[in-house]
Amino acid sequence: MPICIPDTLPAVDVLRHENVFIMAASRAKTQEIRPLKVLFLNLMPKKIETENQFLRLLSNSALQVDIQLLRIDQRESKNTPVEHLDSFYCDFADIKNQNFDGLIITGAPLGKVEFDDVVYWSQLVEIIDWAKEHVTSTLFVCWAVQAALNILYGLPKLTREQKLSGVYSHNITDPNAILTRGFDDTFLAPHSRYAHFPSDIIREKTDLVILAESKITGAYLMATQDKRMAFVTGHPEYDSFTLANEYFRDLNAGINPSLPDNYFPDNNPELTAKATWRSHAYLLFSNWLNYYVYQLTPYDLKTRNLTID
């Protein structure tokens, strides 16, 4: 089944060109089924690019998914036209009285910024607190994981001295875990972050179950026992060229970045990198939608307080 998005969202043309199964909102209204309602809080600067990346992964499911784009505030964006934001994004006040099957909170380029200095920190705290009662399952990605660990568990901000950038091998910790069902014992995933997620601290300071990790990246995939929250510390949504774009951007800015690990062929940035993580990225989002959202969510979302046994 397809994802359902507004007819004029730029992602419609991009994903249709890639033969991705999507359904325009106008057609979805004629179908007599109850689609999953997924709220997408986009914290990344290049919002259209991020929309394309996540919507592509959400499309690979047997479930129809109705996407609602959410912005954190109404500050002007340097990388996204205001017309796009006004046309396709809602404000939290517009949906705070609704319930949703799923919520995805993206990363943000705030690795070196203290939480108290994040201009929308109070809004993010409010949304994460709201999600406890109004969302069946929330998926946090990269910086959003670090923010959530602080908000939910009181963990201090842990920052790496050097940016973690590249494609790394990870090991699953439980071959029977449903969020990693179908995963190979080892799999690749990209990272681009200063945030630090040591597995030993996660195990000691939280009740989260680590489902995948590596010695280099630390904890990669974590979840609560009740499946109400899942955490991905990397960027499985990245396109094959995203890490290259970040590297050349920083190089042109005079930052003198290190080459992303295990990314460019022969470590030569003049050669085109290939995505080696795509299949597991699709599988992760498909598993989350099925086992953490669809299998747990109430049919009647008008229920004010979501309770999951």
Cα first-last separation, the chain: 28
What is the model's pTM? 0.88
Q: Is 44 left (phi over 0), alpha (psi -120 to 50) or beta?
A: beta
> CA 70: distance to chain centroid?
13
Q: Phi, psi at residue 162, to the nearest 5°?
A: -115, 140
Which pair of tokens denotes residue 248?
């050349």
Tell me whether residue 163 is annotated as binding: yes
CA 100, CA 181: separation in Å to the nearest integer?
Answer: 24
CA 63, CA 23: separation in Å to the nearest integer?
Answer: 12
CATH superfamily membership of 3-239+275-294: Class I glutamine amidotransferase (GATase) domain (3.40.50.880)
The predicted structure's pLDDT at residue 307: 47
The predicted structure's pLDDT at residue 64: 87
- Other Cβ atoms less than 10 A from the Cβ of 122: the count is 10
Instruction: Assign 60 to helix, strand or coil.
Output: coil
Distances (CA, A) of 58 to 3, 250, 283: 7, 30, 10
Which pair of tokens denotes residue 305?
């307080």
CA 287, CA 221: separation in Å to the nearest integer?
Answer: 13
Q: Phi, psi at residue 154, to the nearest 5°?
A: 75, 20
The predicted structure's pLDDT at residue 303: 65
The predicted structure's pLDDT at residue 209: 98
Q: Domain map of the chain by residue range?
A: 3-239+275-294
Q: Phi, psi at residue 169, to the nearest 5°?
A: -85, 140
CA 223, CA 133: separation in Å to the nearest integer?
Answer: 17
The predicted structure's pLDDT at residue 308: 42
Tell me whether residue 249 is annotated as binding: yes
C-alpha closest to that of 140 among 132, 128, 129? 128
Contact assessment for residue 145 and residue 231, using Cβ atoms and an 8 Å cutoff: yes
- Other Cβ atoms less than 10 A from the Cβ of 107: the count is 25
DSSP assigned state of 116: G
Tell me whether residue 192 is annotated as binding: yes
Among all residues, which ones are annotated catalytic?
A: 142, 235, 237
Q: Return per-residue pLDDT of the chain as tens, 309 residues.
A: 455 667 778 777 776 776 555 555 555 454 446 789 999 999 999 999 999 999 999 988 888 899 999 999 988 888 899 999 999 999 999 999 999 999 999 999 999 999 999 999 999 999 999 999 999 999 999 999 999 999 999 999 999 999 999 999 999 999 999 999 999 999 999 999 999 999 999 999 999 999 999 999 999 999 999 999 999 999 999 999 999 999 999 999 998 999 999 999 999 999 999 999 999 999 999 999 999 999 899 888 876 455 444
CA 173, CA 219: separation in Å to the nearest integer?
Answer: 10
